[in-house]
Amino acid sequence: MSPLPTLPVEVWRQAFIMIIRVPGALLSDRLDPFSEGREVDVYWNRDLLTRSALLLVCKDWHSIVSELIHEHLHLTCSKQVAILADRLEKSKANDCSRDLGSLTRRIDVQLHNPAPKHSENLARLLRCTPNLEIFINSNFYMTLTPNSQSILPPAQTSPEVIKALLRTSAHSLRRVEWTCNESPGWSDLMGVLRDLRGLCSLTLANIHGSFSEKPRQEHLILPNLKTLILGDSPSFSHASLGNVPLNTLLMMLSESPKQLPCLQRLEGFSPFSPDFLRTHGHKIRIVRTVAYTPLLPEIIAKCPNLETFITIFPHQQLDHLSHPSLRRIGIFPISEDLVGVPVQIFAAYIMKPLEDLMCQIEESDLPKLVQIRIRNVGTLAGVVEHPVFTQKWWNRWNSRAVRFDDKDGKSFQMGNPSQGTATSGRQGNA
């Protein structure tokens, strides 16, 4: 093997950044819903084997790669949390080495049924990350029964974890998410919203407990928040519609337009609070929601500057839709998990409602419409096996200069190589 070329360390660093960093992972806001990338790609696109190999080449490479892999920590087991907490504490205490925790910009924690000691270790780790920008909590509680999985009641994120997060990284945090059935308690959430002045993106699947804080004189103000996502994404199921804690939060944020001066993107259950939309609707550019409600036209009307609307299929009713500035409509599946159903079932319960939905959009008054996207994954993956449907609607939309494309932004025009084999519309197990 020939010797490695002699290059400055910074040149190697730039090369390794291209290899190790996952595109979009360090963004302070969520990816655009029409982006080719997905949030889940942040986890699955990491090449762990390559990282491990680079660490073994030489001392200089080990140093560079070690720093880069500590930028984004994805924690999936309790042992991993304990090991990393020990490592970052040791690095922080060692004057002769680089403080690895100071390099960490994003932490994703995804533990199954975490115990109190696991929260203690996570709090230890968070105390070592003073420059953290993104914290995503996807802890979930579930038991396995002989017949199926059973979701346990919602659990509360440890106040110790919240305290460590705020004391160490309040000045740097830009994006905070709770995406599963562990959520912050009300008092902890209020601390997060009051202390994180730079917060740009907030996702809350739920809030634990009942709101008991005494009313305050001043408004709750989030001066930099651009994205607000509430409910059990991606489906925003009907279980969210009567979610008292999330509705209470919306009401708290509906008192003055000054509370959310930068809001641009709103996602969640439907219908949204009318008071909230009256107060902030004119700022909103992107809405994603369950659209099965007769109030939808009124909801959209309260967002006069709306540019992107995404409906969660098969909750669809878009008749009588009218909007002067709407440019993009997305039809996204209620589930992105791979499914298989008999052809007749798929035709009756997916393709027929989808045809009706397309007709409703066609009949709507949308003078600025330029793009319609069907996200053909999960329950909508089998759409590509219906070329009569895709070609028919491509022809209709193309005649109106409207793009009609798939999950990757590729046209549904006949012959598109992206329309490969799918499983959802084939004969299989229901």
Alpha-carbon gap, residue 87 to 100, rounded angstroms: 8
Q: What angle do CA 309, 340, 235 make, to 5 degrees?
A: 30
Q: Is the pLDDT of residue 378 over 80?
A: yes
Q: pLDDT digit string (tens) for 101-132? A: 898 999 999 999 999 999 999 999 999 999 99
Alpha-carbon gap, residue 205 to 182, rounded angstroms: 9
When mean pLDDT is compared across 188-192, 229-233, 268-272, 343-347, the lowest value belongs to 268-272
Give 388's contacts (C-beta < 8 A, 6+ positions apart): none
Residue 414: per-residue pLDDT: 64
Q: 253 with 263: CB under 8 angstroms?
A: no
Residue 248's Cβ-side half-sphere holds a number of Cα atoms within 13 Å equal to 15
Q: pLDDT digit string (tens) for 331-360? A: 998 888 777 778 888 888 889 999 999 999
H or E element in which residue 349 lies: none
Q: pLDDT digit string (tens) for 86-102? A: 989 998 887 656 788 89
Q: Is the pLDDT of residue 173 over 70?
A: yes
Q: Among residues 285, 294, 301, which one has the least CA distance to residue 315?
A: 294
Alpha-carbon gap, residue 203 to 236, rounded angstroms: 13
Say what angle helices 48-55 and 59-69 make with each other, to 10 degrees: 140
Residue 63: per-residue pLDDT: 66
Give alpha helix (H) positions in 364-401. Answer: 387-399
Highest-pLDDT range among 171-175, 339-343, 381-385? 171-175
Alpha-carbon gap, residue 5 to 247, rounded angstroms: 60
- Supply 286's token pair: 């992107």
Residue 239: per-residue pLDDT: 55
Q: 178 with 134: CB under 8 angstroms?
A: no
Alpha-carbon gap, residue 116 to 207, rounded angstroms: 19
Please tell me whether residue 100 adopts helix, strand or coil conformation: helix
Q: pLDDT digit string (tens) for 41-76? A: 655 555 566 665 555 456 666 666 677 778 889 999
Q: How confident is the model at residue 224 (pLDDT cuts 50, 70, 90)?
A: very high
What is the residue-averaged pLDDT of the chain? 83
Q: Is pLDDT larger for residue 273 or for residue 32?
A: 32
Alpha-carbon gap, residue 61 to 16, rounded angstroms: 9
Q: Is the pLDDT of residue 327 over 60?
A: yes
Q: Among residues 217, 218, 171, 178, which one has the least CA distance to residue 197?
A: 171
Residue 54: per-residue pLDDT: 56
Residue 242: per-residue pLDDT: 63
For residue 186, how far is the Cα from the chain centroid? 22
Q: 263 with 285: CB under 8 angstroms?
A: no
Residue 183: per-residue pLDDT: 94
Q: Is pLDDT larger for residue 40 or for residue 301?
A: 301
Q: Is pLDDT larger for residue 15 or for residue 228?
A: 228
Alpha-carbon gap, residue 206 to 244, rounded angstroms: 9
Alpha-carbon gap, residue 425 to 428, rounded angstroms: 9
Q: With a threshold of 0.75, does the pTM exceed it? A: yes
Give 104's contacts (C-beta < 8 A, 6+ positions apart): 70, 71, 72, 73, 88, 128, 129, 131, 132
Q: pLDDT digit string (tens) for 177-197? A: 999 889 999 999 999 999 999
Residue 44: per-residue pLDDT: 58
